[in-house]
Amino acid sequence: MDTFGPRMFERLHDAYHASGQRGVCAFEIDGQAGEQFHVVADADGIAYGDGAHPNPSSTVRMTSAIANFVLDSPESIEFRSPTFAQQMQVQGDLSLAFSLGLLLRRPSAATVARFQEATRISGSRAPVAAIERLYRPSTEQVLACLAEQRPVVVEGALDAWPLPRSLQEFAERFGHCALTIDPRIVQQRDISDLVRALDGSGAEDIYTHGCQIPAALQQAFAPPFFDRHGPPAIAQLWMGQGGAGTRPVTLLHRDDLHGLLAQLYGYKRVLMFPPDQGEFLYPSIAYTNSQPCRVDPSAADHARYPLYANARALQVRLGPGEILVNPLGWFHCVFAEDKVVSLSYSFRA
């Protein structure tokens, strides 16, 4: 019988770094009659254990087919996909299981090459001193900014969009649309319910974390700079609130696609670092298309991450009707000043 535990643990151990996660995650491959092992996470790191654990914090059950896929195709791991949803079940501490699962990912050679090229271009040019604002630029101008590794804020390009004046107005038009709120589980919540929760007294931190844009929103908000017959784009909705404006709703990371972040409602603050600052930001080796960083700019641990003191950040405030043009490879984290609605479009130029 093939043994998955030692190989999975080796992958986890290579990418693991001390964090707030604590507990025991048990794994079952092909049920209790198949292979069982567990991983213990504590302040010192992670440890491997053969067999079942009497009191796990979380339990991950998967088929051997999925286990082989995870080990053989780490660049294609997407736990929200139907393939994983049908052949994997998670019980208990979802946060622990999800954080360990993400450590199994690895980038493709093409993604690594794109980041290397972005770093080369960024390092060969004079440092970007500030993020420029452009009024109604042409598509060619936007593409030139991307090619030059130069982020900009675009004004006036969304004047034809039906920007909501309130969350209630947004819910009146799109309230029936269902969203997957929590990326760790397949949890559906419609926009009307989300708006009601956000309007409640002492409203909880709720954020959609880049869920797929429903068809009704895609029809109403066509990607800027590209008509409906232009290049395909990955479209995501970022809606809700969190962090009280001081903690990021989107942690520091970089993407291997160019991005347009279009603000519909509320204000966001974006902290950005050019690609050639990567050595100061402690990027993880565990990722596919989006590379997270270990350091948190909002609460940097300089004792653990001393090189972060050398990083130079750019900051921009994004309001309704504005677009942040974000070249691939730029590190960024996002703060919501209050309740927000944003759409993002990712693409290759």
Domain identity same for 189 and 289: yes
Q: What is the percentage of the chain residues whose pLDDT exceeds 70?
A: 94
Domain identity same for 238 and 149: yes
Per-residue pLDDT of 176-192, as tens digits, reads 998 877 655 556 789 99
* Cβ atoms within 10 Å, residue 214: 18
B/e letters for 79-93, b = 16+ CB within 10 Å, e = fewer, are beeeebeeebebebb
Instruction: Give 271's Cβ-side CA count (13 Å radius).
Output: 21
pLDDT of 103 over the 60 cut: yes
Cβ(261)–Cβ(323) below 8 Å: yes
> The dihedral of CA 150, 265, 160, 236: what is its sign?
positive
CATH of the domain at 65: 3.30.1050.10
| Structural domain total, the chain | 2
Per-residue pLDDT of 214-266, as tens digits, reads 889 988 998 888 765 466 678 899 999 988 889 999 999 999 999 999 999 99
Look up the domain containing 271 and give its range: 109-347
pLDDT (0 to 100) of residue 171: 96
The pTM assigned to this predicted structure is 0.92
Domain identity same for 83 and 152: no
Q: Which two tokens stand for residue 149?
A: 């590794």
Domain identity same for 194 and 298: yes
Domain identity same for 305 and 324: yes
Domain identity same for 164 and 265: yes
- 83: confidence class by pLDDT, cuts 50, 70, 90: confident
* Residue 36 amino acid letter: Q
Domain identity same for 216 and 125: yes
pLDDT (0 to 100) of residue 222: 87
* Cβ atoms within 10 Å, residue 71: 15
Of the three residues 48, 72, 102, the one that is the final residue of a domain is 102
pLDDT of 275 over the 60 cut: yes
What average pLDDT does range 156-174 have in this prediction? 95
Of 212, 165, 170, 227, the closest CA to residue 194 belongs to 170
Per-residue pLDDT of 53-71, as tens digits, reads 999 999 999 999 999 999 9
- Concatenated DSSP letters for 224-270? TTS-TTS---EEEEEEEE-GGGTS-SEEEEEESSEEEEEEEES-EEE
Cα angle for residues 325, 239, 77 (degrees, 5° grid):
75
